[in-house]
Structure 1
Amino acid sequence: MFRIVCKTSVNRSTKHWTTTNPKLTPFSRLFSTTLNPTDQHSFTVSFLVNSCGLSLESAISASKLVNIDSAEKSDAVINLLKSYGFTKTQISTLISKRPSFILSNAEKILRPKIEFFRNLGFSGSDLTRIIVSNSYILASSLSNTIIPCVDFLRRYVETNENVVYTLKQSTWILRRNVDKIMVPKIDALHALGVPKAHINRLIMIQPRSLILPMKYFKEVVRSVEEMGFDPKRRSYILAVKAMTKMTKATWDKKKEIFMSYGWSEKEFHSAFTVQPMLMLCSEKKIRELLHFFIEKAGFKPSEVAKCPNLFLTSFEKRIIPRCAVLEVLFAKGLIKKNLNVIWMLNVSKKKFEVKFLTSYLEDAPEIIKAYRGELGFHGFGKCFKASK
């Protein structure tokens, strides 16, 4: 039956649509001609496709939740979003996630919320990105949810700039009663002796850690304590951040990768204690660096474990170029074979360049190409003797 109706509509309307909408694609033109202007459901689907950019499938699905009876009100929503820099794709995504937005009062409901975030400090792509990726922001009450949450954050992180930074880490807190959920965890950290400045830092860099269920939060804090972290040191907060950023299954999987490359339990514990952010590296990067350090460069697993900061550096921009420079210098006999190479990868950019580029440029001009990544790294081979 539906196919018969579509065919009839196409025959009756093809001329009208092809002449008044020359820019429509053949598919959209065909779809548009199947809609009877007097059919409210068809009008809704048509508007969602042609004005909002939804796919036919998404539009049909959305039409079950909304009924557009006037293009004027919905056009006002689209024009408002465009005026704030939302792209066609972003508008389509936003409406697909929450079709009810297209029925909102653009001036009374949407504009005040967008203006609030813009005045707070979000602008340009940051403004549109945060709203599209967290569409519930426009569905939340400005006076009862958004403003109280921002006021709460400002009491701890003080400036609007810091509030913006915090919300970029997680806008999930805008969906929570922050006073009720976050304060008990903040009080718990205070009781453990964590300085206020460090707690405020945790709120900024990992606000979601403080909206976790209290049971899980206590388990994390207990684990951090058992590892020997000092509550008064900044590393304590970084450890809490790292452990609340992933599930236990993900934690165990990453740990297993380190162990599979020869790290002992003690070495893993020591590396995490020195650099908690180590565990925030992706599984791919962890595996890639371990393979490079141990299999290609020839370092001992214990040597790598002593320099966990290397996992936070760029593999392509730092590790490989430096190894390539040292490979050239080793091959020419310009540096001692017992040099602790892994620590040379860990020194500052300025110190490395002064020690190995400036000092040996005349004797080995090719190190410039090596440092630029033009020579690559082939391994130290027999020219390198691992440090003891």
Structure 2
Amino acid sequence: MLAFIGKAFVPYRTIEVGASYVRYIKTKTIPFPNSTEKNSLTVSYLTESCGLSLDKASSASRLVKIRNTEKPDSVLRFLHSQGFAKHDIVTLISKQPRFLVASLEKTLRPKIEFFQSLGMGGEDLTKIFCANDRILKSSLENQIIPFIDFLKGIVGTNENVVITLRHSSRVFNAQFVKVMMPNISNLREQGVPEGHIRRLMMCYPRSLMFRVDLFEEAVNEVKAMGFDPARKSFVWAVRTKTCMSKANWEKKKELLLGYGWSEGEFQSAFVLQPNLMATSDRKIMKVMDFLLTIVGLNPLDVAVYPNIFLCSLEGRLIPRWSLLKILMSEGLIKHADLGCAFIVNNNYFEKKYVIEYEKNAPEIIKAYQDGTRFKGLVADCKT
């Protein structure tokens, strides 16, 4: 049968070969339709009317077929009327080309107007539709509104709902009845204040999308480490545990222990600052190398101030160390608690080390205030 694919029959003829007669069928190949020609309307519409590049239009044409322009024209007019800029439409159609052929009155208008009623617009609105093809497929009445009502019951206001969706628009992919509700109930049973649960939902909603049994395991581990459920650090520790695999946790822990921390120092540092373990390996190594090699702190000094790992090396640690080093070398200060000096806020640091000495070392202080940051010293300090 395969021999006949793509062939057209013509009358056969017989030839004589020796004592035998052989009949053969004369065939000719009929070309298949060119897929580019077939999609020419779709591609040209995506490039000319929607503003997509040829590459993006070709890719999008695999997911949507435009046979006439009436429906997509009405969709584009509606998007423009709702304040969608050209780049918003390019982003939206590139990621969700089926948007163009969705029903305007039954699907698009009600959903977009619903999200706008929450106070969402511009890039936030584009982002939520780009990130979730399920929004187009989900029922507004039966799925989207119940989820938003649930979310609002946790975070309190429409403004906070928008903040939550901005932090993780994929929260729509969560099974909020089967997963998020049980996880929130778990936190409440532990005695976690509603304000801390609200903060976790708004900043890291993906933590509450964690599988129920694994979420419970993470909560139990955090409690075993000595975290108090009544303190904000408890939910940040839960967030860190749910966002890391056990293998990555152990790898990062071994990295810190490799710099001389004991098991107890690691445990204490994590309790003081749970976001320590959310810091990248590269950042940990750069900060540790700077503090131990350049500044001369010992591992215990660093463990006592784990907030240091959340500070910018180039933006805070190096400039402050440069200033403190010169003040000490000039004899203007005899000693400074360097760990504390690195983590205090700018107002406190400048009051204690800048304003205090601006008369005695005006050039040094001016360099710090102007942001020149002692460029030679900074180069020496970088690792």
Same fold (TM over 0.5): yes
Structure 1 segment 82-161 matched on structure 2, within 5 A: 82-161=80-159
Inter-partner Cα distance in structure 2 for 1:207 and 1:259: 31
**Structure 1 residues 104 and 58: CA distance shift in structure 2, 3 A:** same
Code of the residue aligned with 1:326 in structure 2: it is L
Inter-partner Cα distance in structure 1 for 2:48 and 2:245: 42
- Which of 352, 356, 377 is 1:355 aligned to? 352
Residues 270, 276 of structure 2: 8 Å contact kept:
yes
Q: Tell me, what secondary structure is at the counterpart of 1:293?
A: helix
Output one character per residue of 1:332-374: Cα deviation in whole Å (capped at 9) or x when no partner. 11110x4322212222322221221112111111222034442
**Structure 1 residues 316 and 170: CA distance shift in structure 2, 3 A:** same
Code of the residue aligned with 2:226 in structure 1: it is G
Inter-partner Cα distance in structure 2 for 1:288 and 1:75: 53
Residues 271, 306 of structure 1: 8 Å contact kept:
yes
Residues 131, 169 of structure 2: 8 Å contact kept:
no
Tell me how many residue pairs correspond in the alignment. Answer: 344
Residues 323, 368 of structure 2: 8 Å contact kept:
yes
Inter-partner Cα distance in structure 2 for 1:133 and 1:100: 13
Inter-partner Cα distance in structure 1 for 2:291 and 2:128: 38
Inter-partner Cα distance in structure 1 for 2:296 and 2:138: 55
Q: Please state how far the C-alpha of 1:307 moved relative to its aligned partner.
A: 0.5
* 2:4 alignment partner in structure 1: none
Query: Tell me, which stretches of 5 or more residues in structure 1 are unaligned?
Result: 1-33, 382-388
* 2:27 alignment partner in structure 1: none
Inter-partner Cα distance in structure 2 for 1:283 and 1:216: 24
- Which of 182, 185, 206 is 2:183 aligned to? 185
Q: Please state how far the C-alpha of 1:303 moved relative to its aligned partner.
A: 0.6
* 1:342 alignment partner in structure 2: 339
Structure 1 segment 323-342 matched on structure 2, within 5 A: 323-336=321-334, 338-342=335-339
* 1:378 alignment partner in structure 2: 377
Inter-partner Cα distance in structure 1 for 2:284 and 2:83: 38
Residues 149, 177 of structure 1: 8 Å contact kept:
no
* 2:215 alignment partner in structure 1: 217
> Alpha carbon RMSD of aligned pairs, Å?
2.6
* 1:243 alignment partner in structure 2: 241
* 2:25 alignment partner in structure 1: none
Residues 324, 377 of structure 1: 8 Å contact kept:
no
**Structure 1 residues 130 and 66: CA distance shift in structure 2, 3 A:** closer
Q: Please state how far the C-alpha of 1:123 moved relative to its aligned partner.
A: 2.7
**Structure 1 residues 377 and 227: CA distance shift in structure 2, 3 A:** farther
**Structure 1 residues 98 and 302: CA distance shift in structure 2, 3 A:** same
Q: Please state how far the C-alpha of 1:272 moved relative to its aligned partner.
A: 0.7
Inter-partner Cα distance in structure 1 for 2:92 and 2:315: 37
150-159 or 110-119, larger mean C-alpha shift: 110-119
* 1:194 alignment partner in structure 2: 192
Give yes or no for the alignment of 1:67 onto 2:65: yes
Code of the residue aligned with 1:115 in structure 2: it is E
302-311 or 368-377, larger mean C-alpha shift: 368-377
Q: Please state how far the C-alpha of 1:58 moved relative to its aligned partner.
A: 4.3
Q: Quick check: which has more Rg, 1 or 2?
A: 2
Please identify which structure carries the higher strand content: 2
* 2:12 alignment partner in structure 1: none
Q: Please state how far the C-alpha of 1:55 moved relative to its aligned partner.
A: 4.2
Inter-partner Cα distance in structure 2 for 1:186 and 1:56: 46
| TM-score in terms of structure 2 length | 0.81
Q: Please state how far the C-alpha of 1:308 moved relative to its aligned partner.
A: 1.0
Output one character per residue of 1:17-37: Cα deviation in whole Å (capped at 9) or x when no partner. xxxxxxxxxxxxxxxxx999x
Q: Please state how far the C-alpha of 1:134 moved relative to its aligned partner.
A: 3.6
Give yes or no for the alignment of 1:280 onto 2:290: no
| TM-score in terms of structure 1 length | 0.80
**Structure 1 residues 332 and 213: CA distance shift in structure 2, 3 A:** same
Give yes or no for the alignment of 1:175 onto 2:173: yes
Q: Please state how far the C-alpha of 1:301 moved relative to its aligned partner.
A: 1.4
Query: Tell me, which stretches of 5 or more residues in structure 2 are unaligned?
Result: 1-33
Inter-partner Cα distance in structure 2 for 1:368 and 1:189: 50
Give yes or no for the alignment of 1:369 onto 2:373: no
